Chains A and B, each alone.
Chain A
């Protein structure tokens, strides 16, 4: 399972980095999203993988899984969700204001001289 999870994180990160380096805003946003998925999985795995054991104290428990990474992941998910929403709106605004969806958006002569 460790190998599979590592592979998933690696592929997500690689895809995210590749997309984030594209020239259009939409692939960049997708790339940032993929990277945030990768880092969420990564944080989760940092508590070690354990199956079927409780995160909170109970008398019947044979062992425990680390509850802290789960709390961290929740925080990270909320933050990345909000950031994604923001960056999508910003990308749309940039598309509207700049007239194209390139990340370096400005093609007008007046702006080159500004």
Chain B
């Protein structure tokens, strides 16, 4: 039990310390830097698994930083959702890093430092129970992402990066406006306390609270790339380096996570924010899914297509969250790691394909026959089947759960129509891409000029695909966990009670048995 006491803070401080150590080691041999970075990322996996085990029975591990209890201090909270997001991030980061250490981390300086700080920001954002602290962790992960996005340089990358940075700075300003308004009305920033205070808002402040909450929704929608705020994503993701694009597959999910976390807590059944997002989230998600898929069909390069597939997957995810029932949210939570891993695999594979095609890179035009086309094509087929949601892979299960959950929703015809039609469109688009890349080829004039894919570069793709397949093999336990998570989220009283009910810990010497000791504090 005592070992569990500091568990919630570890995934936050470990990448931070690793980042600082790597900064100090910036002149050390590359092999050492890579080793430190990889060990630090690998260590996140057992931590995340320990958290899932601790949270699986429905407990909330609440960690009061500096022993300042909520609502006065900042708390970190581990519940099923946070642990789930942490595990997804850790697994994704391992494979992105395994790809990066094969060379692309040398294209610029401080890749590993930025990578660790990115994880620091991500893990912090998933764990924090304080709205302003969420802003701070957003800024950390964004600042690291700016560095990673621009890593390696190049004109297209700088141009896309400038748009990404400016739009996110505007987003941060709006975030602060929303947080300030909520603080001005409720006088607290702790999310659990906010939920209590906002439910009891006097009627004359209702409009103010609603506008702040919708402003906050706008900010999260920007991070999640929800229509109409998705325009920054395709260029940014298509032009950055492959491991960074793979890691960024989780970045849009941070926005989706924040929407789920903040609104499941603050909305409540009564009060000014009840059902606030019902009119917005699901329709916007449907439109995002449609437009994202049109982008997929119209893409001219494979990386661009992968980026639009990320937009489409966020549409599916937020559609699930927008429907709001336990089954729908559970479907979304099952779909979330699937879409993250599959999108990351496609970005990594696109990079290998692009190298193997020489001058044609990843453009959709008839090019040279690739060396190693069988392996690349086989992997592409599996990735495409996973992303398009073909049975028996996990994309199919996720969408099936979503369609089933929509049965008693008033949006039923829309959900079924859009999800099924966009699914068909993605099959057609990916089949066309695959046939262009692999079948409509001609022999190169100089076969030696093309580099065959290295096995080491394909291993991370295969690893991510194994995770996708693992999601199918263990679909029972995973969907049970997702359903339990959704049920927990839809009963915010548990979270609120756990956060606000924590007593300060007594000084170290007096701990007996290690249980939370209410009433024994000096």
A→B interface (CB under 8 Å):
16, 20, 25, 28, 32, 35-36, 38-39, 42-43, 45-47, 68-69, 72, 75-76, 79-80, 82-83, 86-87, 90-91, 93-94, 97-98, 103-106, 111, 114
| Binary per-residue interface labels of chain B (155-187) against chain A in the complex, 1 for a CB within 8 Å, 0 otherwise | 110110111011001101100110111011000
Do A106 and B170 touch across chains, with their CB atoms under 8 A apart? no
Asked whether any CB of chain A lies closer than 8 Å to the CB of B380, the reply is no
- Asked if residues A86 and B146 are in contact (CB atoms below 8 Å), the reply is yes
Which of A39, A91, A103, A106 is B155 in contact with, Cβ under 8 Å? A106
Q: Which residues, 339 to 372 on B, are CB-close (under 8 Å) to A?
A: none
Q: Is B132 an interface residue (CB 8 A)?
A: yes
- B193 CB, min distance to chain A CBs, angstroms: 13
Instruction: Contact check, B143 vs A87: say whether CB atoms are below 8 A apart.
Output: no
Q: A75-B132, A98-B159, A106-B159 are in contact. List 20 more A-B contacts (CB 8 A).
A: A28-B166, A32-B170, A39-B176, A42-B176, A43-B180, A43-B183, A46-B180, A72-B180, A72-B183, A75-B136, A83-B172, A90-B158, A94-B158, A94-B159, A97-B153, A98-B155, A103-B166, A105-B158, A105-B162, A111-B156
A90 lies within 8 A of B162 (CB): yes
For residue B160, give the distance in angstroms from its CB to the closest CB of chain A.
10
**Which residues of B are in contact with A by a Cβ distance under 8 Å?**
132, 136, 139, 143, 146, 150, 153-156, 158-159, 161-163, 165-166, 169-170, 172-173, 176-177, 179-181, 183-184, 189
Closest 7 CB pairs of A and B: A46-B184, A39-B176, A43-B180, A46-B180, A35-B173, A97-B158, A97-B155
Please measure, in the bound complex, the distance between the C-alpha atom of A20 and the C-alpha atom of B173, giving whole angstroms.
Answer: 12
Q: How far is the CA of A35 from the CA of B168 in the complex (A)?
A: 13
Of A42, A69, A93, the residue contacting B177 (CB under 8 A) is: A42
Contact A90 B180, beta carbon cutoff 8 Å: no
Establish whether residues A46 and B183, one from each chain, have CB atoms under 8 Å apart when the complex forms. Answer: yes
Query: 20 A–B contact pairs at CB < 8 A?
Result: A16-B173, A28-B166, A35-B173, A36-B173, A46-B180, A68-B189, A72-B179, A72-B183, A75-B136, A76-B176, A79-B172, A80-B172, A83-B169, A83-B172, A87-B166, A90-B150, A97-B153, A97-B155, A103-B166, A106-B156
Residues of B near A39 (CB, < 8 A) are 173, 176-177, 180
A69 to B155, CA, bound (A): 41
Residues of A within 8 A of B161 (CB): 90
| B132, B156, B165, B173, most chain A CB atoms within 10 A | B173
B316 to chain A minimum Cβ distance, whole angstroms, is: 30
Contact, CB under 8 Å: A90 / B165: yes
Return chain A residues, CB-CB under 8 Å to B156. Answer: 106, 111, 114
Inside 8 A of B177's CB, which chain A residues have their CB?
39, 42
Q: Which residue of B lies closest to A36 (CB)?
A: B173
How far apart sit A3 and B275, CA to CA, in the bound complex (Å)? Answer: 34
Given contacts A39-B176, A93-B158, A94-B159, contact A79 B150 (CB under 8 A): no
Q: A72 is contacted by which of B132, B165, B166, B169 (Cβ under 8 Å)?
A: B132
